[in-house]
């Protein structure tokens, strides 16, 4: 499958199709069971041309399991939900049993992860608000064995239908996709930017939007940790993600001809480069 959008905005990396499947593509990248990894690396692999997959035993981290739609994996975080709520906020160092648990799991963690477990990532003000954050997430349990990341060029639309199409974009390209998502809608709130992990903004949030009669696109990579991990893979270009449920992607594709993407303002931005 080819994308007119990708050509019009001169996308640096391939669009990525995210699918649910009971089969995994041959030669796919996949984390080893029990090994830590960032889900965003799977998306990057596909953007660079190699399919990647995750299942209920190989999603890399509990947040990745949540983001991909394998249920509430925060329940399996060290210390359960309470441990996670402290981890994302103020840390487990002063929680009863927290230091002892931290010492127990230390051999299985990186130095940075262990420090964050003790002292918190500081992404939400307190554990009580983290609990509300989790309650607000559109938890999903996908009805398939695998979540597959596949370069869009390898998708056969006669045989498979993606859930989401993901773009890694610079600020100009993000602006263009935001305009295009609203181009034929008759209103102006067809792109959202929830506060969530990088994987959640390419997974469960677009999944939720896909169930709507008028699905919206989801902007992501506002997750600071995910930005660090992606930068190691893609370099210092300031990428964001733009995840379009497949129905919206098809709508946007149809609207490329005759749109602003063929007019001088956009072309002048392209000519100046990133």
What does the pLDDT average to over 117-128?
96
Answer whether residue 274 shows pLDDT above 80: no
Q: In angstroms, rounded to a whole number, what is the distance separating the alpha carbons of residues 242 and 221?
A: 9
Answer whether residue 199 shows pLDDT above 90: yes
What pLDDT is recorded for position 243? 98
Confidence grade of residue 16 (pLDDT, cut at 50, 70, 90): very high
> pLDDT digits over 136-177, tens only?
999 999 999 999 999 999 999 899 999 999 999 999 999 999
Confidence grade of residue 241 (pLDDT, cut at 50, 70, 90): very high
> pLDDT digits over 212-224, tens only?
999 999 999 999 9
> pLDDT digits over 50-98, tens only?
999 999 999 999 999 999 999 999 999 999 999 999 999 999 999 999 9
Answer whether residue 117 shows pLDDT above 70: yes
Q: From 240, 194, 73, 40, select the one nearest 142 (Cα to Cα).
A: 73
Contact 91, 144 (CB under 8 A): no
> pLDDT digits over 17-44, tens only?
999 999 999 999 999 998 899 999 999 9
Answer whether residue 119 shows pLDDT above 90: yes
Answer whether residue 236 shows pLDDT above 80: no
What does the pLDDT average to over 181-189?
97
Direct distance between the N- and C-terminal alpha carbons of the chain, in angstroms, rounded to an integer? 26
What pLDDT is recorded for position 237? 75
The model carries a pTM of 0.95
What pLDDT is recorded for position 140? 98
What pLDDT is recorded for position 272? 73
Report the share of the chain in percent with pLDDT over 90.
92
Confidence grade of residue 273 (pLDDT, cut at 50, 70, 90): low
Give the start-to-end residue ranges of the domains of the chain.
4-61+141-272, 72-136
What pLDDT is recorded for position 271? 85
Helix residue ranges per DSSP H, 152-256: 171-182, 204-210, 224-234, 246-254
No. of helices (H) and no. of strands (E), the chain: 12, 7
Contact 127, 169 (CB under 8 A): no
What pLDDT is recorded for position 108? 84
Q: In angstroms, rounded to a whole number, what is the distance separating the alpha carbons of residues 72 and 215?
A: 24
Q: Please list, in sequence order, all residues whose beta carbon lies within 8 angstroms of the beta carbon of residue 90, skipping any fewer than 6 positions away.
A: 119, 120, 122, 126, 127
């Amino acid at each position: 499958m080819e994308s007119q959008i990708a050509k019009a905005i001169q996308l640096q990396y391939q669009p990525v199709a995210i699918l649910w499947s009971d089969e995994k593509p041959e030669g796919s990248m996949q984390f080893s069971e029990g090994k830590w990894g960032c889900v965003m690396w799977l998306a990057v692999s596909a953007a660079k041309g190699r399919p990647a997959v995750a299942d209920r035993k190989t999603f890399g981290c509990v947040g990745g399991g949540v983001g991909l739609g394998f249920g509430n994996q925060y329940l399996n975080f060290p210390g359960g939900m309470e441990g996670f709520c402290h981890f994302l906020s103020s840390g487990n160092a002063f929680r009863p049993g927290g230091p002892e648990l931290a010492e127990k799991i230390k051999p299985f963690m990186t130095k940075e992860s262990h420090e964050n477990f003790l002292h918190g990532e500081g992404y939400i003000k307190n554990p009580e608000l983290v609990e509300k954050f989790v309650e607000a997430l559109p938890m999903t349990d996908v009805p398939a064995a695998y979540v597959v990341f596949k370069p869009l060029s390898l998708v056969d639309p006669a045989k498979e239908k993606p859930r989401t199409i993901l773009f890694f974009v610079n600020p100009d390209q993000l602006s263009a996709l935001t305009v295009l998502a609203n181009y034929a809608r008759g209103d102006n709130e067809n792109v959202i930017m929830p506060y969530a992990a990088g994987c959640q903004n390419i997974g469960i949030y677009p999944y939720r939007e896909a169930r709507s009669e008028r699905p919206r696109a989801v902007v992501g990579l506002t997750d600071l940790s995910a930005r660090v991990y992606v930068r190691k893979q893609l370099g210092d270009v300031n990428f964001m993600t733009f995840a379009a449920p497949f129905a919206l992607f098809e709508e946007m594709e149809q609207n490329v001809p005759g749109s602003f993407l063929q007019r001088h303002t956009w072309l002048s931005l392209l000519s100046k480069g990133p």
